[in-house]
């Protein structure tokens, strides 16, 4: 490597993406159910209790949608467009018994997460699980590319209870990593062991630096929550499931949209289907 390349590499390694804190304003929430009025209001009350951290920051107006307000996904989208809420709260498999099988989110959730830009808070199904715990002391934001994801972090922060903990989690896929190292191993000019060490260190250093900038920004802004970094290489679905259980996470926050296609991001869908008992905030 010549001196110009060395200088360029050093310069790029020193460049860091810094987090900028912005208080998310969630002033209106739509609770979507397939229940009658009495049951719907009970679910809405549980939802308000669970998201009490929002009310602590600003007043939130709540609208509850009962089963007679929509019959198709198009009807539901029309309601969302009409009300334009800052948050949608619902559960899996609306107007369907498929929730009993545990293999799908249902057509309505697919449409809400992909056809709108509104965050969707997915709570456990009221017919199967007890109401979500009335607190969000432990919130976990997950992604495979944390650096620069201001929206994910700021939105997750809005749901953390005062003096709670935000786990910022970045998991590099081990299968992808091993595939790249295998390719490197076929290039005689590169030492494979050295490449493995240096690449893994750099991949994990960047999200750790970003999380450090989050903690610094929150301290400067006087935000009363703790941030914890979880940065590793592993099998994403298994790793996230293990981390959620280990830390007793109350709410999981993740991106669901994929720039390359209209379907839900593959990792997000897999987690949403598997983690039926964990409240999910889907962006």
Q: Does the CA dihedral 126-129-134-138 come out positive or negative?
A: negative
Topology adopted by domain 17-275: Rossmann fold (3.40.50)
Provide the pairing of β-strand 120-123 with 280-282.
antiparallel
Q: SS3 string of 226-281?
A: EEEEEEEEECHHHHHHHHHHHHCCCEEEECCCECCECCCCHHHHHHHHHCCCCCEE
CA angle 66–67–70, rounded 5-degree value: 100
Domain boundaries, the chain: 17-275
List the chain pLDDT tens, one digit each, 283 residues: 554 454 344 435 445 799 999 999 899 999 999 999 999 999 999 999 999 999 888 899 999 999 999 999 999 999 999 999 999 999 999 998 888 787 889 999 999 999 999 999 999 899 876 555 578 999 999 988 899 999 999 999 999 999 999 999 999 989 999 999 999 999 999 999 999 999 999 999 999 999 999 999 999 999 999 999 999 998 888 889 999 999 999 999 999 986 665 667 778 888 888 888 899 999 9
């Amino acid at each position: 490597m010549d001196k110009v390349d060395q200088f360029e590499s050093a310069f790029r390694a020193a460049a860091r993406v810094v987090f900028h804190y912005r208080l998310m304003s969630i002033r209106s929430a739509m609770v979507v159910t397939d229940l009658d009025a009495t049951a719907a209001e009970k679910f809405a009350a549980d939802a308000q209790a669970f998201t009490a951290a929002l009310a602590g920051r600003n007043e939130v107006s709540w609208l509850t949608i009962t089963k007679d307000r929509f019959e198709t996904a198009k009807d539901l989208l029309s309601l969302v467009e009409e009300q334009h809420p800052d948050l949608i709260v619902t559960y899996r498999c609306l107007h369907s018994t498929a929730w009993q099988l545990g293999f799908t989110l249902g057509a309505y959730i697919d449409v809400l997460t992909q056809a709108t830009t509104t965050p969707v808070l997915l709570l456990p199904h009221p017919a199967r699980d007890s109401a979500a715990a009335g607190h969000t002391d432990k919130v976990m934001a997950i992604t495979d590319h944390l650096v620069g994801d201001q929206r994910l972090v700021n939105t997750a922060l809005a749901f953390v209870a005062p003096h709670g903990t935000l786990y910022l989690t970045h998991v590099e896929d081990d299968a992808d990593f091993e595939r790249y190292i295998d390719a490197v191993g076929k290039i005689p000019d590169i030492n494979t062991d050295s490449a493995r060490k240096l690449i893994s260190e750099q991949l994990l250093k960047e999200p750790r630096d970003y999380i450090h900038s989050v903690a610094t920004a929150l301290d400067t802004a006087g935000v009363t929550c703790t941030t914890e970094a979880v940065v590793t290489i592993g099998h994403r679905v298994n790793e996230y499931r293990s981390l959620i259980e280990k830390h007793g996470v109350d709410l999981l926050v993740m991106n669901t949209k994929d720039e390359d296609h209209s379907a839900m991001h593959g990792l997000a869908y897999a987690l949403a289907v598997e983690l039926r008992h964990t409240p999910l905030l889907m962006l």
